[in-house]
Every structure is written in structure tokens, then in C-alpha cells.
Amino acid sequence: TANENHRLKVQIADLTRRLKNAQLTIEAERTIAENAVAKADDYRLQIEQLSYMLGLESAKSFNIETKNMQFMESKRYEENKEKAGNLHQELRMEEVEFWMTKNKREPLKLQRLRAKAAKLEQEQESQRKLLQEIA
């Protein structure tokens, strides 16, 4: 009948409209998902780049710190070397003076200078080993 035909046509039109809306919704959701995946990939790439840059900066900072420490230790080594040279010179002068006076007992100053020289030599050796490890 005509009324039933009309009702079926309206139902078909309504279902067609709903199907079209569902297809458009699915397409929109697919586009949103693709955009989200692309954005996530971009963020992942940015994180990788930042991690790489952080690694480079950390390595650079470590190298600068190591070189700075090496410079400071080298400077300290040279200062101690100069002190040791002066101390050995003073020690030689005291020994010559002691031999010239022909005293049987060694002066306390000479004993202290020898002990100080031995300690300084030990520090020098330790400092030299440290510099070798740093380099």
C-alpha cells in the first residue's frame, strides 16, 4: 500500500542518512587517529633528538670538567715541583753546612728538611700518577 511504501521510503532515507553520518564519523575518527599517531611520532622524534643533545651536552660538560681538573692538577704539580726544587736546594745547603762544621750529631733542622723533602716527593709521585690517570 501507498502509506506503507511511503513509511518504508522514509525509514530507508533515515537509515541511509544514519549510515552516511556513521561513515562520516568513522572517517573523522580515522583522521583524528592518524593525526594523533603522526603527532606522537613527531614527539618521539623530538624526544630522541633532545636525548641525543643532552648526551652531547653531558659529554661536553664532562670533557670540560676533566680538562679543567687536569689543568688545575697540572698547575698544582708544577707548583709542588718548584717547592720541591727549592726544598732540595735548601737541604743541600744544610747538608754542606753540616759537613763543613764536622758535627757528629745531625741538626734538627736538617732532619726536618729531610722528612719534609721525603713527604713532598711522595706527594709529587702521587700527583704524577693522578695526572697520568687523568690524561
Q: Residue 132 above 90 pLDDT?
A: no
Q: Are 91 and 117 in contact (CB under 8 A)?
A: yes
Q: Residue 135 above 80 pLDDT?
A: no
**Distance (Å, whole) CA 101 – CA 91:** 15
**Distance (Å, whole) CA 12 – CA 9:** 5
* Mean pLDDT value across residues 43-67: 97
Total-model pTM? 0.56
**Distance (Å, whole) CA 6 – CA 116:** 117
The owner of cell 583522521 is 31
| DSSP-assigned states of every residue in 51-100 | HHHHHHHHHHHHHHHHHHHHHHHHHHHHHHHHHHHHHHHHHHHHHHHHHH
For 130, other C-beta atoms within 10 Å of its C-beta total 16
* Mean pLDDT value across residues 84-89: 92
What's residue 97's pLDDT?
87
Q: Give residues with Cβ within 8 angstroms of 80, minimum separation 6.
A: 120, 123, 124, 127
